[in-house]
Structure 1
Amino acid sequence: MNDDARALTRHLADLLRREQVAMAEFLVALAAFDRDRRWVDLGHTSLFYFLHRELGLSKGAAFYRKTAAELLQRYPELIEPLGDGRLCLSSVVELAKVITPENRAEVVARFFHASKREAQAVAAELRPRELVPLRDVVTALEPAVPAAAAALRASAPAARGAAAAAPVADLPARDLTGDQLVHPDEPDSTPGSARAEQAATAQPAAPPRPRDEVEPLTADLRRLHTTVSRRFLDKLAAARDALSHAQPGASTEAVLEAALDLLLAAQDKKRALVKKPRAAPPRPSADPRHVLAEVKRAVWKRDGARCQWRMASGGICGSTTRLQLDHVVPVARGGASTVENLRVCCAFHNQLAAREEFGPKHMAQFARAPDEQAKPRPTLPGTRVVHSDDPGLELG
């Protein structure tokens, strides 16, 4: 099975290299196409509209490729890192905001292998916004419109008279999930009747969970966009009042940071990272799964609060979420709760280790369907249940 996975990995890596080379070749050809303004010969008003209308790319994809093609015309040295994967389209868009003939040699490498958010942070550091306003803005969200109501609203243009002829240019372009597209240059071209038909036939679905957005402003400042409940705002106001003696007029950032400090301190205590003076050495436990606080502390410190699962390609998983302590040699196999036999693992790799040790058939009895999460699960003989929110224990 591992040999098959390695063979598939080599095949996927080869396909990825070909994709990166093909993208670089496409952008080089597109840059030449744009330099000669060949899109004019086809009746388009810009390269963006050619990509969107003629080649059928989404607005976001068209914008990314347009930006990259224009940048390649000025900085052809970007072709090589695009072809080998050091640069991707999202990082090129951010690079375009800050690169100059003077800084090109130093700046380009800072965007290598950067995610979109990391590239945004680098761009904000190199060209920070001036006079960044420090403010809190609270806005009310419109209630979600049911699909049936949306269909009726979209299918009633005749009753609205002249209002039905209003252009859709003011409507933000959105994809099928309702998220606004990256580049709203062009109005939504979907006819109103088609939108009504889509709404009428759509299955009712739960509203998507609002996404948090972090917008880099300078090297140190970020703007956080998040959706909260009224209950949260009430708690925030109460927390600000509670902090008013120690920090009069505390900002929202100060209040939330104080709360986060308390949360992290509690988590450190739970992981036994906070050392408490003891009058006497702890008594040995009869439970082989019991992990002494000093052992927990040593393991968490040694592993740096990151999953230590060894990857087939080398290195470790490195996850920092849903962490637990895992016995390298399971207790059921005679393993001890010592520093040497414990490691930090994420929940996924903790469960994977148990499946590899005891077999998937045996571990299937411990799996639960989503609607059974509240029910107690069976346990291995001589073991106890371990939940992912208890980082001091392990699953199997």
Structure 2
Amino acid sequence: INSYVPTLYSGNYVYENYISDCTAPQSFYFPIDSHTQAYTIYTYGQLVPTGNTLTTPRGMPWGSDGMVNLWSDTSMNTRVDQIIRPCDPGWTDVVADGYCYKFIYQPYTWTQAEQICHAEGAILATVFDGNFETVLEGQAINVDFWIGLNDRDQEGVFVWDQLNGSIPLTSGMFTNWAPGQPTPDPGHVTNCVIQEMQVGAPLGKGWVPVNCNLTKPAVCIKRNYNYNYEPTFDSENDLPKGIWSLGVQTQTGPCYVKVYSQSEIQLYHQFVVNVHDDAGLDGAIKAANDNRMIAHVTHQEASMIGIEGQLQYLHIYKENLTIQDVEIFYQRSTCAFEYISTPFSCPAYNFNAMVTGIDSMGYLYQRIKPIFCMSGPTQYSCQHGGAFNNGRCYCQQYWTGQYCEQAICVNGGFPDASETA
């Protein structure tokens, strides 16, 4: 769970496909935009034992050391893999947990070490399980080092260092206290915790609270995902941008693939039937043939090469993943939702729509959005003299709303509590 939950942060549904017979090798192609730092592949099917293969946009195989298998359930024919951008230079991957760590070998006080970690968007090491503890001990050998655990604010209440606030030690199940630790500290002196590496040390091997002003080496950790990340053309620590290929083969029967990415290119959308509206509904109207998606897309600003991102197309799918219609997005100024599509009709009450565009570095991005269509107004539901046409109420003067239910006051008037007068 600790490995899977972070994949949902800034998540985008970018690709899906179903093939009825995958006993022969099948290739699935999906785009990775310039702001993507990680993506997750869900594969459903009775897969061959060798598993899936990945090929980068440059045609190079993506090694298994860069693909973390979050789970593989042969009884349910389900496999989930995550591909994460490499750690920054000088940092080491803890691949199974999606972390990067770095040892600071020069001795510092606990507070100095904390400041050094925070300056790099990291924290002093939080140790939630024995696997990571083993990794750190293997690197430290016989050198004691600071970890993020401390009770500086309240005696006996241990918390983990964080960039903002702290996390209680009790929020996790793992501890590695040295024998007899922690001991009572009525003077509130030993408030910062080291990983004692010497089995024969006076206090034993494990976590030991000591004076925070002692100087020790330290370990910083941070997630591979960096919320301040900005893509470049030459970084060795980016995921390759462009069209990736996933190879899938089953022992028998079909296969189904879904891809979710972690990218700061986020799409926010609503639906309108009036081309001038800048606020709409969460769903389209089933009876209307002039539904339009309005959209706002983040991180579309011009890049260093002067390209401004552009939302381009709205693809409307049937249930069997076939395209029924394609609409075009147009940009408009001074609107919160800066894009509006050409009109469309709902093919069903629930369907998927895929929007595509070009990011600020010239790479394709796409987002799949589940859409629902509402019944909306009917011939008999328009109020206050409103006229029904094409799934919409056209209101008389001084009335507004989807059903013409809201009064528009003039000459300094204001509506009553019900807004109907």
User: TM-score, with normalisation over the residues of structure 1?
Assistant: 0.17
Give 1 or 2: higher strand fraction: 2
* TM-score, normalised via structure 2 length: 0.16
Structure having the larger proportion of residues in helix: 1
Structure number with greater CO (CA < 8 Å, separation at least 6) is 2
